[in-house]
Amino acid sequence: MSKNHPEKLVASPAKPTRESQPPVMSFDSTAFLQAVTEQAGVYRMYNSQQQVIYVGKAKQLKKRLASYFRQDVGSVKTKALVKQICAIDVTVTHTEGEALILENNYIKKYQPKYNILLRDDKSYPYLLITAHKHPKLGLHRGGKKVKGEYFGPYPTVGAVWESLRLMQKVFPIRQCEDSYYRARSRPCLQHQLGRCSAPCVDKISQADYAEQVNLAKLFLKGKSSTVIEQLVQHMEAASQALNFELAAKYRDQIVTLRKVQQQQYVSGFTSEMDVIGLYRFKSQVCIHLLCIRSHKILGSKSYFPVVPAETNDSEIIEAFIAQHYLASDVASGGEVQGHIPKEIVIQGEVEQRLMLTELLSKQAEFEVKISSNSRSERAQYLKLAQTNAQSALVTRNSHKESMQARFTALNEVFELEQGIQRIECFDISHTMGQQTVASNVVFNQEGPLKSDYRRYNVHGITPGDDYAAMAFALNKRYSKLKNLSSTDDTQLLNVPDIVFIDGGKGQLAKAEEFFNQLELVKTPLLVGVAKGESRKPGLETLILAGSHQLISLPATSPALHLVQHIRDESHRFAIAGHRAKRQKASKKSILESIEGIGAKKRQSLLKYLGGIQEVMVADISALEKVPGISKVLAQNIYDALHDK
């Protein structure tokens, strides 16, 4: 038995299978406690809706679970929890440490309301140097794992892009995609700017390129002094060989690297640590994570965990450390969590410090220290993290209050009986009818709900027909709700109170026609947002569906500001999708659409004939001379390029 495949024992009045949920029934705690094991493990508690409401772990399951059903349970939180228990099942593990890892995996999976929930489901961004003949330096975030060497994770994507821009100035390693790299027949603009050594067209030898890649890896590992020493040696060797042009390149590289060192160095004694600051306001909590690597401030990030009532600071920090750093098993497809530093600085004490230290050290394969008695340098960093946590929470609350006030003002305009909880907006973006993309953005009273944003690639319509594109987007979004019954509360929650259509009466009429055919149980209010004659902010006109009544709000109205915010966000989201689609189409070679032409044959055509323009004007006999191109294939290529 291992931590990835622990033994599971079911101990509840009904016996659920591994993935099934227990049936609804009253819970007999006496019978349950007689049957439950005394070994270490994890337990899950279910309510009458068959939902997991709490996940816990214990060194002795029987003793821990019995504590919930005593007469003198002091905690209000525990009393509220026990009242809702309808079933419990347990999973036995070898050790308490294995139980802690399994507990956090269950918390991430079920998101129980009585647990402390980090709710940060975004994967962390990494810098990646691929395992390639000519390795590529780029960003990796989630998705399929690529072979290569990973550096990070970074707290934000912005920190990765900044690092990539910096690396381009110091090390001329390619950052282009493999498809672009394979199709090159001459150096690109990055080579002319001195930011790439153009290995795609053999402007640099394999050995010299590999050397630059190794230097980049050393730099990313924090060994910039070693990199400078090696570059100095290469510069002196080139100078002695009278190769002054090469020596000058090494000199420029050294100068740039020294500037980078001066910009990034932070005076301090600790080379690698994370500092965790915490700030509480009533029932709200903010945790600010400050990351320091190789004497450099790598970045920081604020988290807003969901915390049950009467949870103390120690429990919150303990839960954060476990959920942030303890990873699932990568080999079995789990997601790698936060990089474990050599030291973690926290405020106060945590009950399970020893166990957490042992687990983190085992996972990191080096000794990890959790410090709380902070002095001098650590105390300053901790104070900085706490200040940032307070600032982040105050800013978040200010934004919430402003957003709620705008929702209230908008409801005063439309006078909806149930109030406004959810708003959606649609927009269309294209260039002369090509690469049409529709956007659907969602706002609630806390602001943009980005997890519910959607983009739709519009197809099957006349190019440039915005009305048809709007109908396509609405059908994609709402067609599944057509047969929705009034009892399906879960789906009804996703039906908006207001749908804004970016456009005039034409687009609004198309939306009205669609919703009239759909016949939803809950029909949203449809509103068109028409720009003013000069298209300046503040001159927008709202058009109500049905009566087509025109509403003009004052430029200072909070309700209008909310409409502008939603409309602009929808516009931004649509344009971003359209630009990405257009860029992808511009990079795609016309040869890729020809059947029988793969990457190698495309490269052969481009290299043998001298580029895409030469391929376009080549006749069949010239195409036949290209290695790997048969007479039949040459005919197909010629016909495809000349629309025959």
Q: Do domains 7-110 and 272-390 have the same CATH topology?
A: no
Q: What pLDDT is stored for residue 24 in this prediction?
A: 42
| pLDDT above 60: residue 133 | yes
Inter-residue contact 469 to 456 (CB < 8 Å)? no
Within 10 A of 286 (CB to CB), how many other CB atoms are there? Answer: 24
- More confident site: 229 or 461: 461
| pLDDT above 50: residue 261 | yes
Rounded (10°) angle between helices 353-364 and 313-325: 10
Cα–Cα distance between 173 and 101 in angstroms, integer? 39
SS3 for 287-356 is EEEEEEECCEEEEEEEECCECCCCCCHHHHHHHHHHHHHCCCCHHHCCCCCCCCCCEEECCCCCCCHHHH
The CATH-assigned architecture of domain 272-390 is 2-Layer Sandwich (3.30)
Q: What pLDDT is stored for residue 537 in this prediction?
A: 66
- More confident site: 327 or 396: 396
- Give tens-digit pLDDT for 201-257: 888 888 889 888 888 888 777 666 777 787 788 788 878 888 787 788 778 777 766
Rounded (10°) angle between helices 244-264 and 157-170: 150
pLDDT, mean of residues 30-43: 89
Cα–Cα distance between 178 and 194 in angstroms, integer? 20
The top-scoring range by mean pLDDT among 237-251, 470-484, 569-583 is 569-583
pLDDT grade for 268, boundaries at 50, 70 and 90: very low
- Give tens-digit pLDDT for 38-85: 899 999 999 888 899 999 999 899 999 998 888 877 677 788 888 889
| pLDDT above 90: residue 424 | yes
CATH of 590-641, picked from 1.10.10.10, 3.10.310.10, 3.40.50.150, 1.10.150.20, is 1.10.150.20
The CATH classification number of 416-577 equals: 3.30.420.340
Inter-residue contact 619 to 638 (CB < 8 Å)? yes
pLDDT grade for 23, boundaries at 50, 70 and 90: very low
Q: What pLDDT is stored for residue 14 in this prediction?
A: 38
pLDDT, mean of residues 112-123: 76
Burial-class residue 383 by CB neighbours within 10 Å (0-12, 13-18, 19+).
middle
CA atoms within 13 A on the CB side of 277: 24
The first and second tokens of residue 243, run together, are 């190769």
- More confident site: 271 or 21: 271
- Tell me how far CA of residue 412 lies from CA of 113, 417, 419, 420, 552, in angstroms: 34, 10, 9, 10, 14
What predicted TM-score, i.e. pTM, was given to this entire model?
0.63
Mean pLDDT of the chain: 81
| pLDDT above 80: residue 296 | no
Cα–Cα distance between 348 and 366 in angstroms, integer? 24
- More confident site: 331 or 419: 419
pLDDT, mean of residues 620-633: 87
- Give tens-digit pLDDT for 504-540: 888 888 888 888 887 777 788 999 998 866 556 667 8
Q: Where are the domains of the chain?
A: 7-110, 126-264, 272-390, 416-577, 590-641
Q: What pLDDT is stored for residue 203 in this prediction?
A: 87
Rounded (10°) angle between helices 224-240 and 206-220: 150
Q: Is CATH 3.40.1440.10 the classification given to domain 7-110? A: yes
- Give tens-digit pLDDT for 343-395: 899 988 888 888 899 888 888 778 889 988 666 778 888 888 899 999 989 98
